[in-house]
Amino acid sequence: MHPVSRRRFLAASAGTAGALALAAPSARAVAGGRRPFGRHGSPAARRTPQTLYVDPLGRGDFTTVRDAVAAAAGSGWTLVLAPGVYRETVVLDATRTEATWIGASEDPRDVVIVHDNAAGTPKPGGGTYGTTGSATTTLQAAGFTAHRITFANDWLRADHPDITGTQAVAVKVQGDRSAFHHCRFLGHQDTLYADSMSLTAFARQYYAHCYVEGDVDFVFGRATAVHEQCHFRTLNRTDLAGAPYGFVFAPSTAGANPLGQLVVRSRISSEAPDAFYKLARPWVPSSDTTARPMLTVRDTRMDAGIDAAAPYTNMSASFPWQNQRFAEYRNSGPGARITVPENRPQLTRDQAGSATREAYLGDWEPWKGAC
């Protein structure tokens, strides 16, 4: 998948500064204009009785994802999304299990679910949204699968200098057995919130061939999450005078959970100057001060944007990163150089044998049968 930065899509449209626009739909999407759902059927020829079709131009069952989700009560529904920008917030609640969302184009850039709330954005009824409430898409149901969709939050700090709560989540994922194939996650701070439904729920999540970009803690949360063959991109910043610009990962793994986030056979690139980003910092939330954040990065290329000498830092001095569960194994690239060994904890070969997708996800094998 070709990684295209959200900044190349940012443009003013219809009086809304910073709106996300489709700069150029793929040739396949244009060619399929008369077949907006591609190879996935249509309202006249449904794949299954539990398949619904969504198209902003009115050629499907619904024009918004939110309305389609509302109609798909219960378990086992599939939504096929035609190319377009779906500017809305969406919640898939815990009762709508085993749901599948499919981007009808073969290119995830063609199907975009986007909104622009931040944690500090005022709510119509008073107060602010907070980090969780800022999410464009919230996915609570177990057994969720997404294919070739972009999840985005295009709220920008520069447009809102009066707002200090700058967390702006593209997607919050809470359900067990949540899988994403060839998807994109675009934002700045707190882009991808890989979480669970409660402190005691250990949600397993799988991200394959995905693209994620942002600046501060842009992959975070307490889920047991495997990122395989993904591309993480750190953005440049003009609002800060020096390093660090941000942090790629901020896990908040529960202390009782033996498995946190695993990154394998992936890449971390950067738009920022060399060494202006940290690989990770531990997040120990006030709601769970017994958390022991866990992140393992293995067989992954880190470009020069990562600070090789000091890739980890603290979020709070009360919870130093050295007391958490950070480890690496067989990484490459200038950002992975081991120049200060005590700052780069490494797995042994035997330990690496347990740092695999199979060990993390158990009897769930979401890499099989992907469409």
Active site residues: 190, 217
User: In whole angstroms, what is the distance from residue 243 CA to residue 149 CA?
Assistant: 32
User: In whole angstroms, what is the distance from residue 223 CA to residue 209 CA?
Assistant: 19
Inter-residue contact 148 to 105 (CB < 8 Å): yes
What does the radius of gyration of the chain's CA atoms come to, in whole angstroms? Answer: 20
User: For the CA atoms of 235, 89, 124, 190, what is the dihedral angle to 10 degrees?
Assistant: -30
Q: In what order do the strands lie in the sheet with 184-186?
A: 84-87, 111-115, 150-153, 184-186, 211-214, 231-234, 267-270, 301-302
Nearest to 258 by CA among 192, 355, 365: 355
User: In whole angstroms, what is the distance from residue 154 CA to residue 121 CA?
Assistant: 13
Inter-residue contact 245 to 272 (CB < 8 Å): yes
How remote is the C-alpha of 223 from its chain's centroid? Answer: 12
Transcribe 59-117 into DSSP letters.
Answer: -SSBSSHHHHHHH--SS--EEEE-SEEEES-EEE-TTS-S-EEEESSSSGGGEEEEE--
Nearest to 49 by CA among 18, 17, 25, 71: 71
Name the helix (H) or strand (E) containing 218. strand 216-221
User: In whole angstroms, what is the distance from residue 115 CA to residue 36 CA?
Assistant: 23
Q: In what order do the strands lie in the sheet with 192-194?
A: 90-92, 137-139, 171-173, 192-194, 216-221, 246-251, 277-280
Which residue shows structure tokens 């919130």? 193
Inter-residue contact 336 to 302 (CB < 8 Å): yes
